[in-house]
Amino acid sequence: MAQTKPPADIATMSFEDALRELEQIVQKLEAGDVPLDDSIRIYERGAALKAHCEARLREAELKVEKIVLGADGPKGLEKADDL
């Protein structure tokens, strides 16, 4: 599956800002009072925000794994979710 680039405003968002906006979108969609066309538009934005958050989390996980590895080579690589 081809990965598309997120909109420029999403690409520059911090993880926290993207997650906050994604939570607002979920609340709007769950409320059910958004017109259909708007629902589709904000759902698409939500999908882009979700992908951005997942990418940022993966980047952070890789950084943690590099720190655990250390400059002197393997020190017993620990998975980031085990920390």
pLDDT, tens only, 51-77? 999 999 999 998 888 877 766 666 655
Q: In the prediction, which pLDDT does 1 show? A: 46
Q: In the prediction, which pLDDT does 68 show? A: 76
The rounded distance, in Å, linking the Cα atoms of 12 and 28 is 23
Task: With a cut of 70, say whether residue 81 has pLDDT above it.
Answer: no
Percent of the chain with pLDDT over 70: 78
| Upper half-sphere CA count for residue 7 (Cβ side, 13 Å) | 10
Q: What number is the average pLDDT over the span 39-51? A: 96
The rounded distance, in Å, linking the Cα atoms of 15 and 53 is 6
Give one word for 5, left, alpha or beta, with left for phi > 0 and alpha for psi -120 to 50: beta
List alpha helices for 1-83, DSSP H: 8-11, 15-31, 36-69
